[in-house]
Amino acid sequence: MFLLGVVILFFNKLKNLPIVVLLKDFFKEDKKQKNKYKRSSYLFTVPKYKESRNFNIAFQKHKTMNTHEHFMKAAINLAQNGMDCNCGGPFGAVVVKDNKIIAEGSNSVTSTNDPTAHAEVLAIREACKSLNTFQLDGCVIYTSCEPCPMCLGAIYWARPDKVYFGATKEDAAEVNFDDHFIYDEIELNFNKRHIPFENLMRKDANAVFEAWLNKEDKTAY
Ligand SMILES: [Zn+2]
């Protein structure tokens, strides 16, 4: 115990740190890092450890920032590459799970004659296929542009944890990808929409809903 005190005093003097703080930190950290730091080596490395702990916090913040930017960069690269190969519009998206890209998509509307082949939809489809699920729990979507109403809907159905987007929908509107008219359409009466909607055979359609309610072997979602 005496020897321990001498060692503490020695390091304390060297680094000009209050013993109380050192000891407090020591016991606090030692509990948390029980498996990582042995008492003796901890005392020997206290000043360095304190520095490295600060460094680690800064590094983690930096790393987190870089990770988000890394994934967004991947989405932006997909937008650029998809455009360069004439696959479709300048939009890209990736789905990330456990810090890994599990699915990618770049707009392929014109090359596949599929008006729904937006980057986010393609990435969501690929992610669900690879995870063998219809829900993207624990996933994050990085998309080069704020999603259009269709992709917004797809994202809500897929239920990822979060979405990061690069360009805004206003930026997209500036280069003639204006999807605001779709939001306007939602508010309009069915017969006032640019594409008229008309209600037909509601009772028959509802009979299937009734059957769904009573179906015992359904996969609810
Ligand atoms: Zn879209």
User: How far, in Å, from the CA of 110 to the mean position of ligand 1?
Assistant: 14
pLDDT tens per residue, range 99-146: 999 999 999 999 999 999 999 999 999 999 999 999 999 999 999 999
User: How far, in Å, from the CA of 147 to the mean position of ligand 1?
Assistant: 5
User: How far, in Å, from the CA of 99 to the mean position of ligand 1?
Assistant: 24
**Residue whose pair of structure tokens reads 């020897």 in the numeric block:** 3
Average pLDDT, the chain: 82
Q: What is the per-residue pLDDT for 66?
A: 75
Please give the Cα distance from 49 to 73 (Å, whole number): 34
Please give the Cα distance from 154 to 141 (Å, whole number): 12
User: How far, in Å, from the CA of 120 to the mean position of ligand 1?
Assistant: 6
Please give the Cα distance from 198 to 85 (Å, whole number): 40
Going by pLDDT thresholds of 50, 70 and 90, the confidence category of residue 55 is: low
Please tell me which residue in 51, 69, 104, 120 is annotated as part of the active site: 120
Q: What is the per-residue pLDDT for 64?
A: 59
120 included as an active-site residue:
yes
pTM above threshold 0.75:
no
